[in-house]
């Protein structure tokens, strides 16, 4: 019995010894982690940061529960009992360094997050080695150069965030190969040129390319899956393309601060799913009115912003018949005429089938006549109505909706009325 017990104790000791010398991390992943850390400027690795805890005298995947390798990556047992790095997510500790020579030899990596740091230099083609990657977050860094075409060869990628990273050049046409992509954020860069065809991205639902220098027309070829399009503050021309009719999941469109012109097409106001439309700070001169009846219009729109354009004519009656519309911004255009009755009742007493105007901004136009009585009865804290800077016969600043700007002079109002076609 004693000899059997001794044998069992010896066997246990051997197993413990073997487990202590056998690396839990696959050797190639250890090498890749070392290479990555060596690419980071040592002066930018501050005490208490994730990278400061990466001590390779300890096995990385084994050290995750101790004082070393406290954060920055995750290991999972994928094959052969070895730990493989599946997630590399750094803290926002101000790391700097160039990634241009990093091989990114992490065949099982699913998420890479280096956002909110100071990495610089060009984005390396080696990122495309991450064939299992589903999330790539590189936002808020100091990269240079263009977005590499090779990023379009990452078939599993679902989220690509390159915003606010000082990138230039054009959006690669190869992005149309990212068949799994759901979210694309490239805003706040210096990206230029025309936007490519992304119609093959059948899973794309969020696109933000705002605050760049993208030119040409509003993209014609977008997938029907897209829910939100934000391309404000670019250099795009033309108007809203007819192909937007086919975007049957679309809920939000922001094309403000561009060079769009002509007429806003009528179909956009009765789009079957659109809830928020922002076209402010463009050069539109007119609105196409959809067919409507006094009972209302089929529309999901909640908010419409057409402010700071050059739109002329009377205020569009149909806006007061959009059943869910609660925010309408038409200020700083060249609208004339009187405030429609539909606007008045939608503000003060819309009825059970219509949402009330919570925000009705009409200042900075050439509206004339008298302010309707029901609006004069509004109290501060009710609806946000703004009528300043028009041609009303009486709109003193004692009324909250007349504050902020005086009514136009009679001379200015008469001069404008003579040039109305």
Please answer whether residues 191 and 171 qualify as being in contact, where contact means their C-beta atoms are separated by less than 8 angstroms.
Answer: yes
Report d(CA 245, CA 55) in Å as an integer.
56
Q: How far is CA 138 from CA 158, 211, 300, 309, 419, in A?
A: 14, 17, 35, 35, 53
Q: Which two tokens stand for residue 82?
A: 């070895």
Domain that holds residue 102: 24-111
Q: Which two tokens stand for residue 42?
A: 């040592």
DSSP state of 123: P
Please answer whether residues 234 and 212 qualify as being in contact, where contact means their C-beta atoms are separated by less than 8 angstroms.
Answer: yes
Report d(CA 292, CA 315) in Å as an integer.
15
Q: Judge whether 200 lies within some domain.
A: no
Please answer whether residues 197 and 218 qualify as being in contact, where contact means their C-beta atoms are separated by less than 8 angstroms.
Answer: no
What is the reported pTM? 0.91
Q: Judge whether 398 lies within some domain.
A: no
Q: Judge whether 370 lies within some domain.
A: no
- Which of these, 52, 51, 63, 156, lies nearest to 114 by C-alpha position? 51
Report d(CA 341, CA 339) in Å as an integer.
7
Q: Which two tokens stand for residue 343?
A: 């606007």
- Which of these, 44, 234, 211, 32, lies nearest to 120 by C-alpha position? 44
The predicted structure's pLDDT at residue 22: 52
The predicted structure's pLDDT at residue 419: 53
Report d(CA 356, CA 362) in Å as an integer.
16
- Which of these, 338, 342, 316, 341, lies nearest to 329 by C-alpha position? 316
The predicted structure's pLDDT at residue 82: 84
Q: Judge whether 147 lies within some domain.
A: no
Q: Which two tokens stand for residue 157?
A: 């990628």
The predicted structure's pLDDT at residue 12: 42
Q: Which two tokens stand for residue 246?
A: 């086919």
Helix (H) / strand (E) containing 119: strand 118-121
SS3 of 77, please? strand
DSSP state of 29: H
| Chain CA centroid to CA 240, Å | 19
Spans of the chain below 50 pLDDT:
1, 4-5, 7-21, 421
Which contacts (CB < 8 Å, 24+ apart) does range 70-79 have? 73/33, 75/24, 75/25, 76/108, 78/108
Q: Which two tokens stand for residue 368?
A: 């004339």
Q: Judge whether 188 lies within some domain.
A: no
Please answer whether residues 235 and 214 qualify as being in contact, where contact means their C-beta atoms are separated by less than 8 angstroms.
Answer: yes
Q: Judge whether 228 lies within some domain.
A: no
Q: Judge whether 219 lies within some domain.
A: no
Report d(CA 88, CA 75) in Å as an integer.
9
Q: Which two tokens stand for residue 183?
A: 């979210």
- Which of these, 207, 200, 216, lies nearest to 185 by C-alpha position? 207
304-360 pLDDT, tens digit each: 999 999 999 999 999 999 999 999 999 999 999 999 999 999 999 877 788 999 999
Residue with structure tokens 């250890």? 30
Q: Which two tokens stand for residue 414?
A: 């008469």
Report d(CA 196, CA 203) in Å as an integer.
17
Number of domains within the chain = 1
39-81 pLDDT, tens digit each: 999 999 999 999 999 999 999 988 655 678 889 999 998 776 7
Report d(CA 41, CA 142) in Å as an integer.
14
Q: Judge whether 332 lies within some domain.
A: no
The predicted structure's pLDDT at residue 19: 41
């Amino acid at each position: 019995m004693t000899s059997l017990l001794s044998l069992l104790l010896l066997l246990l000791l051997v197993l413990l010894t073997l487990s202590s010398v056998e690396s839990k991390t696959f050797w190639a992943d250890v090498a890749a982690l070392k290479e990555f850390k060596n690419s980071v400027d040592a002066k930018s690795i501050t005490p208490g940061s994730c990278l400061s805890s990466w001590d390779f005298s300890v096995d990385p995947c084994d050290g995750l529960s101790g004082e070393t390798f406290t954060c920055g990556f995750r290991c999972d047992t994928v094959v052969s009992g070895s730990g493989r790095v599946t997630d590399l997510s750094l803290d926002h500790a101000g790391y700097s360094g160039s990634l241009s020579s990093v091989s990114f030899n992490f065949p099982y990596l699913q998420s890479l997050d280096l956002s909110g740091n100071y990495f610089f230099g060009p984005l390396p083609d080696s990122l495309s080695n991450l064939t299992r990657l589903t999330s790539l977050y590189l936002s808020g860094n100091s990269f240079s150069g263009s977005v590499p075409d090779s990023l379009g060869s990452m078939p599993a990628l679902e989220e690509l965030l390159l915003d606010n990273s000082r990138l230039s050049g054009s959006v690669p046409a190869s992005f149309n190969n990212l068949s799994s992509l759901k979210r694309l954020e490239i805003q706040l860069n210096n990206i230029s040129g025309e936007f490519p065809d992304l119609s093959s991205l059948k899973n794309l639902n969020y696109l933000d390319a705002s605050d760049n220098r993208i030119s040409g027309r509003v993209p014609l070829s977008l997938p029907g899956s897209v829910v939100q399009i934000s391309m404000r503050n670019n250099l795009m021309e033309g108007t809203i393309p007819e192909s937007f009719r086919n975007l049957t999941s679309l809920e939000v469109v922001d094309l403000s601060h561009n060079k769009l012109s002509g007429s806003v097409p009528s179909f956009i106001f009765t789009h079957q799913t659109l809830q928020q439309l922002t076209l402010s700070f463009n050069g539109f001169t007119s609105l196409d009115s959809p067919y409507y009846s006094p009972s209302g219009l089929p529309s999901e729109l909640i908010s419409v912003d057409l402010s700071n354009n050059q739109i002329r004519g009377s205020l569009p009656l149909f806006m007061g018949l959009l059943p869910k519309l609660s925010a309408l911004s038409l200020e700083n255009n060249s609208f004339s005429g009187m405030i429609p009755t539909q606007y008045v009742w939608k503000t003060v007493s819309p009825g059970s089938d219509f949402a009330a105007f919570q925000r009705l901004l009409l200042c900075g136009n050439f509206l004339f006549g008298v302010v309707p009585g029901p609006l004069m009865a509004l109290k501060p804290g009710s609806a946000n109505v703004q009528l300043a800077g028009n041609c009303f016969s009486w709109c003193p600043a004692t009324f909250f909706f007349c504050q902020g700007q005086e009514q136009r002079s009679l001379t200015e109002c008469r001069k404008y009325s003579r040039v109305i076609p």
